[in-house]
Structure 1
């Protein structure tokens, strides 16, 4: 996907050591953006960054960061501002899920999902808000989920975190519109990434999804195309988003008709 708006811009991506984050990094580099890649795994980040620099001749800096370690976040973003001077796009991609029934959720998993998916995302966003507002430009992209629109069995906590992300993003969008900063929520359905190694270790959910699972390259392509444009949401696949919209209008009917499919986790 060609997006000339990205040439020479500085883009920060969390959760960039694999999956969707890695695909976004390569596509942004193809468009001439300079990158800061954040994730817990320094070795993977180093490998991806070296490959990007070699292929696309852009600046690409890997920085190890666990977004659930909130006190580390300001130091990392200060380092980026000291080196780059500005951040044009922040992609809050870091996140994970554990699929289990509500009565069996481990408190450690509950705390972990909220720490990474919600509080870590908000903490990273807080680091760019004053700078983007001062410049009156920038783009904050939050990777939420269709689970933030339509909760299904065995994803109660994960869905709760993504509902929180959408609520935060919708409020943030209105606030940031006053200073010309774009805010976009990305709501993908299931993507074929390493996410399911944790969420679905036995592979049954992926097997049931079959051809409906999204290709991470296609999702990344849509996100990169929208960067530095005033796009409210990116919803994929469209049919799943329609189910979520229909659920808002007729929740009892959707839950009754979709009960069998919803339990295929």
Structure 2
């Protein structure tokens, strides 16, 4: 354990499991005060207790559904009543469904955008204003490699994550003058319960074993770049290279995606 985040406040959405939970624990291991946000309060309270024991600093559990604007507003008020400043906002909440767009209910696409894009944007707007007033802070938005490299059965999800990437790029420019940094994290597949919804049959998980990331490793990478001017964190390296090659050779990229990366 280090004290590199002692007296720092880290707010994490999607904190009840997966990458969000891992970032909470990694931050706590470095002494941070952590604010955990998700829909499951019972899970959050258990994790908050672990984090507080690990860090020796406060840990707060706050229930919120990112698909409901009024809950986001109430959660923000609760956070700002408990802490005097915000150093890092990690927007790690989100979900996806892998299905052919023409066959999928439009409600699935609507729900994904409501949570993955609009909920993230609203959360960012509220906490970002606090950081602007402070003239300091960092916003870390989780997008995905899916927002960079297209694969079949992910049209709505990929569109949502591409929106997060571009939103973050513009926000970075707008907040630079206020001393607020913005970093986008684009992970490939990660061993989390994300696939319980996205890939119910388990076919995709079997086909991408070679690229699967451990959430604790992702969390370490993210927290490592807290306070840095890094624009994007693309994981793993192999998929980051693929994303660059796709931009350079899109026709070949389409072929490779259909042959190797679209096995959902």
Give the shorter-chain TM-score range.
Answer: over 0.9
- Distance in 2 (CA, whole Å) between partners of 1:194 and 1:181 is 32
Contact in 2 for aligned 1:3/1:224 (Cα 8 Å): no
- Give the gaps of 5 or more residues in structure 1: none
For residues 2 and 209 of structure 1, do their structure 2 counterparts lie closer, same or farther at Cα, with a shift above 3 Å needed? farther
Q: How many residues align?
A: 264
Secondary structure at the aligned position of 1:11 is classed as: strand
Contact in 1 for aligned 2:3/2:31 (Cα 8 Å): no
For residues 3 and 204 of structure 1, do their structure 2 counterparts lie closer, same or farther at Cα, with a shift above 3 Å needed? farther
What does residue range 1-265 of structure 1 map to in structure 2 within 5 Å?
4=4, 6-265=5-264
Contact in 1 for aligned 2:187/2:234 (Cα 8 Å): yes
Secondary structure at the aligned position of 1:37 is classed as: strand
- Distance in 1 (CA, whole Å) between partners of 2:253 and 2:218 is 26
CA RMSD of aligned residues (A): 1.2
Contact in 2 for aligned 1:17/1:45 (Cα 8 Å): yes
- Distance in 1 (CA, whole Å) between partners of 2:262 and 2:32 is 42
TM-score by length of 1: 0.97
- Report the CA distance between 1:2 and its aligned residue: 5.2
- Distance in 1 (CA, whole Å) between partners of 2:238 and 2:146 is 14
- Give the gaps of 5 or more residues in structure 2: none
> More deviation in 23-32 or 247-256?
247-256
- Distance in 2 (CA, whole Å) between partners of 1:46 and 1:81 is 18
- Distance in 2 (CA, whole Å) between partners of 1:197 and 1:189 is 16
Secondary structure at the aligned position of 1:102 is classed as: coil
Structure 1 ranges of 4+ moved more than 4 A: none
- Distance in 2 (CA, whole Å) between partners of 1:168 and 1:102 is 23
TM-score by length of 2: 0.97
